[in-house]
Amino acid sequence: MLKLSKMTDYAAVVMARIAREPDSAHAAIDLAESVQLPHPTVSKTLKALVRAGLLESRRGALGGYRLARPASQITASDIISAIEGPVAVTECSHADGDCELVNTCGVADNWQRVSYAISELLGSVTLAHLASSAPLRMPVQLPIQAISLYGDDEPPPMATAADSTGKR
């Protein structure tokens, strides 16, 4: 399902909550209640967000959490990364040469591009967008032309069999 974990989901929800009232500090327990989730869980999520630098925290009475920077400068990608690590669609997309199939699959390159495109897409959605109650307006153009792919009318490139003769 290509879906993000619940924790990430929570993170988004909580961040949005905070973003809607950015000028006051929010205690974990208050957030938990307003979001209808167990306190410990929310707390855990908040800690992760602090560690990722998306939130600032303050202890003690009057303490709580607040955004580390304006909601318009926090992206969906940031939030996701904070909880589940960098956005990458496949293992090999890591580009860290971990995958041992690199030689046999030949899909890595293109997957990586797709991954990048998604990453860009997520990077173009800000917390301000997410938090806004109004649905995101359209249309818009994403900074994706820089990515890859090609026109839809163009015939498929296909490496063809000629390519399979020599295994790289």
- Positions in 126-165 near a second copy (CB under 8 A): 126, 128-152, 154-161, 163-165
| Residue corresponding to tokens 């990722």 | 52
Tokens (6 digits) for 13: 């929800």
124 binds, among DNA, ligand FES, a second copy, none (CB under 5 to 8 A by kind): a second copy
Q: Is 58 helix (H, G, I), strand (E, B) or coil?
A: strand
Q: Which of residues 67-106 bind ligand FES (CB under 6 A)?
A: 91-92, 99, 101-102, 105
Q: Which helix (DSSP H) or strand (DSSP E) does residue 43 occupy?
A: helix 39-51
Which residues make Cβ contacts (< 8 Å) with residue 155, sequence separation at least 6? none
Instruction: Give the number of other Cβ atoms within 10 Å of residue 10's Cβ.
Output: 23
Structural contact between residues 105 and 134, judged by C-beta atoms closer than 8 angstroms: no
Q: Which of residues 37-76 bind a second copy (CB under 8 A)?
A: 37, 69-73, 75-76
**Least distance from C-beta 143 to ligand FES, angstroms?**
26
Q: Which of residues 49-108 bind DNA (CB under 7 A)?
A: 50-51, 57-65, 84
**Least distance from C-beta 154 to DNA, angstroms?**
29
Which residues in this chain contact ligand FES in the complex, by CB under 6 A? 9, 13, 91-92, 99, 101-102, 105, 107-108
